[in-house]
Amino acid sequence: MCGRYALDSPPTLIKARFRLDECIDFAPRYNIPPGTEIPVIRQSPEGKRVLHLLRWGLVPHWAKDPAIGNKLNNARGESVAEKPAFRDAFKRRRCLIPASGFYEWHTEGKFKQPYFISLKSGEPLAMAGLWESWRGPEGEILRTACIITTGPNAVMAPIHDRMPVILEPVHWAAWLAAPVDEIAGLVRPLDPEGMQAWPVSRRVSKAVDDDPALIEPASDSD
């Protein structure tokens, strides 16, 4: 699963790295929880690559109650093409969710130790996602997104049995626009050679805490 992540890169850097035609402004965040507005990259009908803020927690277009999004923060890659909540978006509404890295918790003795996982290069990574547009009874539009997960690679296996699908830059364009039969093979763990992980403060377990120290290696007092 993926329940928290960080994005501290400025919009100017994200715009350049992902070659965006349009990028809304956003502030750095170090402890992003589900249910909040997150930067999401999509391809517009005109073929432009754009970044807007969508709520994390997918609400399918056919849902009667948007509260369903509280249960759909992640989509399992093994079943994303078949599950009713995800299959239509997997075919037509895929997105990239930029991140500096993500958190995962590993049970160690009597407590859970959080880890921060990122690219060794320090560059922002792209998590594979889905997005939806839901129309309420009064005509209001709610746009939401979720993160696709897969099994662990060698970096993640000692920490947790799931991880986000992380896409290499060479596959970003295909993920956003190619037919679904051309991208199904991208739903897999990233090569571990370019990844790193370290334990961080247990303060990250509290969603109200959001500061740069959360992504730093844990000290003895943490």
Residues involved in catalysis: 2, 104
Instruction: Please choose, from the candidates 15, 3, 14, 48, the residue with its C-alpha nearest in 3D space to the C-alpha of residue 125.
Output: 14
Using alpha carbons only, give the angle 71, 74, 79 rounded to the nearest 5 degrees.
105
Q: CA–CA distance from 146 to each of 39, 109, 130, 137, 171 (Å)?
A: 12, 31, 5, 23, 19
Residues with Cβ within 8 Å of 8's Cβ and at least 6 positions away in sequence, in order, are 28, 29, 30, 100, 212, 215
DSSP run (H or E) holding 149: strand 141-150
Number of other CB atoms surrounding residue 189 within 10 Å? 21
Beta bridge partners of 103: 4, 116
Contact of 43 with 49, CB cutoff 8 Å: yes
> DSSP 3-state assignment of 11?
helix
